[in-house]
């Protein structure tokens, strides 16, 4: 993975923080200066932490750990979904499902039911129901698609979350902290970095900045998966 240059990050607007009046004091080590009342992020620190975070993400993936991509920020949804699909990672881009981590066994049942209904729909098995029942199931599936489509392949509780805007995903962060699920997060100047395990100090609003970082995380997941699959193949040959 090629770490972006300072110039590339500047062009993407990675350095723009929030208004100085909205800052979180624990982000002080990652702030370069204040310009026109807005905090400017120290891109050398961002570059350093981005490199170490990508290494950790690759390692997690190489160990076969599941990383769930999470955002409810409108301008990030399509970017995060596309990135997750590119590396075969589960994703949640509509709204956080309460209990996804703290009550995973129940959520797992919902996912299994959703997958069963989708399979029945694809196989034409729903035609045995009356038109009224089919309509009701179709409406149910439409709603489930919105909430569960990105989680369809999630067979175990994720070991980590990638959150491109930590300050926004407060419930996800609380659940992850309670359950010991690791957090890989973009922290803008208004976020508390202590709540994440691996942080990237960066603008969490600009589309170009979100895409730059999210695509790098997906690339790290892909590299790790390639390593994991290679190890598995070697193990099977030996067996």
Q: What is the pLDDT of residue 209?
A: 98
With contact defined as beta carbons under 8 Å apart, do 150 and 162 qualify? Answer: no
| Cα separation, 165 vs 230, whole angstroms | 33
Tally of structural domains, the chain? 2
Check whether residue 77 and residue 179 sit in a common domain. yes
- Which residue range(s) make up the domain with 165? 6-101+157-238
Q: Establish if 1 belongs to a structural domain.
A: no
> Which of 122, 150, 178 lies at the terminal end of a domain, its last residue?
150
Check whether residue 133 and residue 19 sit in a common domain. no
Q: What is the pLDDT of residue 239?
A: 60
Maximum distance among all alpha carbons in the chain?
A: 66
Q: Establish if 165 belongs to a structural domain.
A: yes
Token duo for residue 37: 């009342």
CATH number at residue 116: 1.10.287
Q: Establish if 164 belongs to a structural domain.
A: yes
Average pLDDT over residues 96-122: 94
| Cα separation, 49 vs 30, whole angstroms | 10
Check whether residue 21 and residue 118 sit in a common domain. no
pLDDT in tens, 20-79: 999 999 999 999 999 999 999 999 999 999 999 999 999 999 999 999 999 999 999 999
Check whether residue 81 and residue 142 sit in a common domain. no
Check whether residue 131 and residue 219 sit in a common domain. no
């Amino acid at each position: 993975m090629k770490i972006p240059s300072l110039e590339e990050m500047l062009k993407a607007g990675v350095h723009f923080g929030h208004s100085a009046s909205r800052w979180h004091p624990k982000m002080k080590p990652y702030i370069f200066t204040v310009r026109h009342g807005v905090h400017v992020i120290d891109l050398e620190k961002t570059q350093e932490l981005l490199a170490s975070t990508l290494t950790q993400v690759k390692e997690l993936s190489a160990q076969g750990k599941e990383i769930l991509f999470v955002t409810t920020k409108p301008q990030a949804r399509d970017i995060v979904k596309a990135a997750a699909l590119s590396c075969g990672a589960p994703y949640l881009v509509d709204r956080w499902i309460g209990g996804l981590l703290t009550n995973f066994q129940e959520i797992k049942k919902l996912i299994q039911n959703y997958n069963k209904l989708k399979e029945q729909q694809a196989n034409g098995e729903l035609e045995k129901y009356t038109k009224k029942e089919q309509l009701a199931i179709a409406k149910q599936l439409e709603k489930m698609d919105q909430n569960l489509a990105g989680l369809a392949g999630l067979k175990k509780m994720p070991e980590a979350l990638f959150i491109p805007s930590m300050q926004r995903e407060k419930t996800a962060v609380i659940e992850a902290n309670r359950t010991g699920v690791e957090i890989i997060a973009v922290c803008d100047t208004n976020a508390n970095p202590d709540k994440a395990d691996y942080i990237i100090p960066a603008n969490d609003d600009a589309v170009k900045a979100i895409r730059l970082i999210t695509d790098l995380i997906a690339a790290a997941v892909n590299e790790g998966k390639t390593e994991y699959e290679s190890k598995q193949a070697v193990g099977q040959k030996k067996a």
